Amino acid sequence: MSGSMSGAARHQSVFDGWTARLFAGDRRALARAITAVENETTEAPAVLAAIHPRLGRARIVGFTGAPGAGKSTLVNAYIKELRRRGRTVGVVAVDPSSPISGGAILGDRIRMADHAGDPGVFVRSLAARGHLGGLSRTAARVIDVMDAAGRDYVVVETVGTGQSEVEIADLAHTKVVVCAPGLGDGIQAVKAGILEIADVLVVNKGDLPLAAAAANQLTEAARLNAGGTRPVPVLTTVATTGEGVAALAEAVEAHLAEGGGPRMAPLQRARRLVAALAAQRLKRRLAEAADPRLDALCQSALRGEIGFDEAAARALELLAGGGR
């Protein structure tokens, strides 16, 4: 039979072979599938079509926070805890620093060292692509591949600044925000707006003198912010020793279980991403447009004849109606 097989059919057969290995949990197949979607190779469409029916099983946990909070160390400790519980883990480390650090590769090496030889942990770092939304788009695809490959958990680690990371955090079912006492007190953390995006708040470096004070401030802030509803839990960890990490895993489980609503389906995730990318397009288009009607709206807003909100609503109408 192999003698009569056409080239295309043979290619298909080879492909079927390695996607079968992908779904069986084979690491090399997983690496190949991720590379395909990350680099948008000719194999990418076939990979995406193959994984599509298998999406939606993995729990996606996002970690974010300011540089210096010990986030990577905590993610490593959390992964160890998940492994102790018998879960398989995929890790997507989002690192918008490619121009200088070669951070993607370096990051993989550092992180892999901790889990080297453990087939239950698969790490991939992603570097920025230099265009708007490129990173969140790639991250969404890589998360999907890990999900389809049967990883129980996909842990997404992002650096907590800038727009694209906020959107990447949106892809997670549960968002953990990591603070450190040395990085300013609870008030400072609250100023940074993290209460709005966190499902679980962690004060890492809990062995530092100011940790308890920071945790107290954050707890109080979370209580006030919740305004009578259940506040975001605040935990203290020492990532380097593993202290508090089991409690963190429990808090994540609790949030996943209650869900803050049902767990986000792949379609809903895709819709958020498409909405974010469309919004970026619109923003660019409007900011660069030389449309006298838009300028008239802006002048009206500057003169106080209409509010900026009203101007924005009318700008959207301009686009929608072509000038009604």
Which residues in 94-113 contact a second copy (CB under 8 A)? 95-97, 99-101, 103
Of 243, 321, 240, nearest to 69 (Cα)? 240
CB of 241 to a second copy, least distance (A): 21
Q: Check binding of 308 to a second copy (CB under 8 A).
A: yes
CB of 84 to a second copy, least distance (A): 29
Question: How far is Cα 103 from Cα 101, in angstroms, rounded to an integer?
Answer: 4
Task: Please select the residue that binds a second copy; options are 105, 213, 254, 302, rule is CB under 8 A.
Answer: 302
Alpha helices in the chain (DSSP H): 7-23, 27-39, 44-51, 71-84, 98-101, 103-115, 134-148, 163-170, 186-191, 194-197, 211-226, 245-258, 266-288, 292-303, 308-321
Distances (CA, A) of 156 to 187, 212, 252, 310: 26, 27, 14, 37
For 280, what's the count of Cα atoms within 13 Å in the CB-facing half-sphere?
A: 14
CB of 19 to a second copy, least distance (A): 13
Stretch that binds a second copy, among 46-54, 112-120, 233-241, 245-253 (CB under 8 A): 46-54
Q: Check binding of 309 to a second copy (CB under 8 A).
A: yes
Question: How far is Cα 233 from Cα 248, in angstroms, rounded to an integer?
Answer: 10
Binding mask 164-183 for a second copy (x = CB under 8 A): xxx---------------xx
Task: Please select the residue that binds a second copy; options are 60, 194, 214, 234, rule is CB under 8 A.
Answer: 194
Using CB atoms within 10 Å of the CB of residue 216, give its burial: 0 to 12 exposed, 13 to 18 middle, 19+ buried. middle
CB 269 within 8 A of CB 251: no
Which residues between 125 and 154 bind a second copy (CB under 8 A)?
128, 133, 137, 140, 144
Task: Please select the residue that binds a second copy; options are 29, 33, 47, 60, rule is CB under 8 A.
Answer: 47
Instruction: Indicate the residue among 69 and 249 with the shorter CB distance to a second copy.
Output: 69
Stretch that binds a second copy, among 6-14, 77-85, 160-168, 239-247 (CB under 8 A): 160-168
CB of 83 to a second copy, least distance (A): 26
How far does the chain reach from its first CA to its final CA, in angstroms?
64
Q: Check binding of 274 to a second copy (CB under 8 A).
A: yes
Q: Check binding of 292 to a second copy (CB under 8 A).
A: no
